[in-house]
Amino acid sequence: MECQECNERTATLHFKRIVNGEETIVKMCEECAKKKGFVPYPEDGYSLHDLLTGLFNFDNLKMANPSGNQINQVKDLQCSSCGMTFSEFKKVGKFGCAQCYESFASRLEPIFRRVHAGNTKHFGKIPKRAGSDLHVKRQLKSYKEELQHLIETEAFEEAAKVRDKIKALEKGHREPEAGEDI
Amino acid sequence: MTLEHFINEAISPWMLEDGPDKDIVMSSRIRLARNFANVPYPILAGQEKLEEIREFFENEYAHQSFHTFENLEFVNVRELTPVEKSVLVEKHLISPHLVRHTEEGAVLISENEQLSMMINEEDHIRIQVYFPGLQLKKALEHAFNLDDWLEEKVNYAFDETKGYLTSCPTNVGTGMRASVMMHLPALAMSNQINRMIPAISQLGLVVRGIYGEGSEALGNIFQISNQITLGKSETDIIEDLESIVNQLIEHERTARMHILERSEMRLQDRIFRSYGVLQYSRIIDSKEAARCISDVRLGIDLGIIENTSGNILNELMVLTQPGFLQQYANRTLKAGERDTLRATLIRERLELEK
């Protein structure tokens, strides 16, 4: 199909125009459409980031008041550490500091769920120093599961060994906590 | 190693090493995003804070070595010329973001160019490790070691349930982006890739062109990476990615055999025409160059073109980028001038292979 404007290139875009209830269909190639101002091409293309900030704004729809009064300030959350507000976060799609995760916690779950296919909990690496407590916790959990399994299978000798490991870990875990400097 | 070297050589030393499935997988990359616990992210931090961070990295890590990553070179992005900046971007040693959006950006690059650590990008720290071929596990292992090494001196922003806290919610959790650069000419030629991309994206993976977000697949080079960083361990993410990449490798090999069996003469014709264009053209734009380079690389892989090294694709892809051409010419060039210089450089480079 030929472009109705230049009659040269193939028409790849179809526009439906409704003026006073009268419908007309225009078929154009991309170039003519651009020239005629039919297509608002963004300069850098549509990035993942644009898509995401779009996602964050989902609750903007709810904020439009049916009576027509614009409610712009529905108690905006603000980060106590860096001062970023939740509306600013939604606009730029970036947190201002690590504390923002705490400050905006009540509004973040749906965002994480959308971005990370329903996931909201970290399952990966734990830093050695910053997460040393967590390392012990995870280790304890895995020992306890092992212990449970050994008891169920009546491997009591093994179970005793694991129990000792748990005790040692719990003991060792408490002591350094007192003089910790992280 | 000096900045001069990073800028003048199109091909990074690690690219010359062998790697599994290197004919299809050009490189594997692991990127970890990390931040200081008590400093605002670069988007909000004041200039002073960012300068402090930059100086910290310069003082602590410049000229240090860690395992195979030797003699880290500290480069202050502000001190680079525009052309030098584009060369580092074209070599994937820094990101366009580091050039465009920060004043206080810096990078530490290892001698073999396998490690680049960006400072004050979107996050305070971005560790990037490259390996030739499909070696995600090895890359992850090295990235983790580096991560532990940094953590000896840096207090990371980390939360028990949310993991590593990053500036963008798309990176929270592992902070890891694993990606693989693949040359898929046969899947592109037979149009199969366009049918595979939607399926791949349903698995939480993203397919993009060679220069990342929004870029097109120049020269049939596709970048495949994980999108999800929360809820899955790094190892699981990598295994998922690797299994998809292995399937793509299989499909690509099958598609190559099909084309070779069904239309060998046409394939030969296409490959040798492209070879001819590269050898004899006087003006060539980057798109045409990328297309021809891809064809020639396929010809080398299939044994149709002999006595030319497969690494030439990697090298020419970088060599023919605008920044690199201008570095070579030692001045800014208009698009027309670039097309002429590009043709000349390619001719000379192929002449060397003879």
Burial class (CB in 10 A: 0-12, 13-18, 19+), A16: exposed
Helix (H, G, I), strand (E, B) or coil at B36: strand
Q: Rounded to 5 degrees, what are φ and ψ at A70?
A: -75, 120
Report how far residue A11's alpha carbon sits from residue A3's, in angstroms, rounded to the nearest whole number: 4
Q: What angle do CA B349, B350, B352 make, to 5 degrees?
A: 70
Q: Which 8-state DSSP code applies to residue A68?
A: S
Indicate yes or no: CB of B158 within 8 angstroms of CB of A115: no
Q: Give residue for tokens 């990371």.
A: B156
The ipTM estimated for the assembled molecules is 0.88
Q: Give residue for tokens 């010419």.
A: B329
CB under 8 Å to B183, separation ≥6 — which residues?
B23, B24, B26, B219, B220, B221, B294, B297, B298, B313
CA dihedral A133, A139, A141, A143 (to 10 degrees): -150
**In the predicted model, is pLDDT for residue B184 greater than 70?**
yes
User: Which among B40, B176, B229 has the least Cβ separation from residue A116?
Assistant: B229
Indicate yes or no: CB of B43 within 8 angstroms of CB of A94: yes
Helix (H, G, I), strand (E, B) or coil at B17: coil
> Which residues of chain B lie closer than 8 angstroms to A96, CB-CB?
40-41, 43-44
pLDDT in tens, A80-135: 999 999 999 999 999 999 999 999 999 999 999 999 999 999 999 999 887 777 77
CB of B122 within 8 Å of any CB in chain A? yes
Q: What is the DSSP string of B282-309?
A: S---HHHHHHHHHHHHHHHHTTSS-SS-
In the stretch 25-44 of chain B, residues with CB closer than 8 A to chain A read: 35, 37-41, 43-44
pTM of this prediction? 0.79
Q: Which two tokens stand for residue B9?
A: 């050589």
CB under 8 Å to A135, separation ≥6 — which residues?
A126, A128
Indicate yes or no: CB of B176 within 8 angstroms of CB of A124: yes
Q: What local confidence, expressed as pLDDT, does residue A73 receive?
A: 47
Indicate yes or no: CB of A127 within 8 angstroms of CB of B158: yes
Chain A: nearest CA to B58, how far in angstroms?
23
Burial class (CB in 10 A: 0-12, 13-18, 19+), B87: buried
Q: What local confidence, expressed as pLDDT, does residue A66 receive?
A: 44
User: Which among A84, A101, A117 has the least Cβ separation from residue B159?
Assistant: A101
Q: Which two tokens stand for residue A160?
A: 């005793």
Chain B: nearest CA to A117, how far in angstroms?
7
pLDDT band at B20 (very low <50, low <70, confident <90, very high): very high
Question: Which of A28, A4, A3 has the alpha carbon at shortest distance from A15?
Answer: A28
Which residue of chain B comes nearest to A137, CA vs CA? Answer: B160
pLDDT in tens, A25-74: 878 887 777 777 665 544 444 556 666 666 665 544 444 444 444 444 45
Report how far residue A26's alpha carbon sits from residue A5's, in angstroms, rounded to the nearest whole number: 9
CB of B197 within 8 Å of any CB in chain A? no
Which residue of chain A comes nearest to B36, CA vs CA? Answer: A98
Indicate yes or no: CB of A123 within 8 angstroms of CB of B169: no
The helix or strand, by DSSP H or E, that contains position B158, with its residue range, turns out to be strand B158-159
Among B50, B120, B154, B158, pick the best mutation site for testing chain A contact (most A Cβ within 10 A).
B158
Report how far residue B217's alpha carbon sits from residue A155's, in angstroms, rounded to the nearest whole number: 58
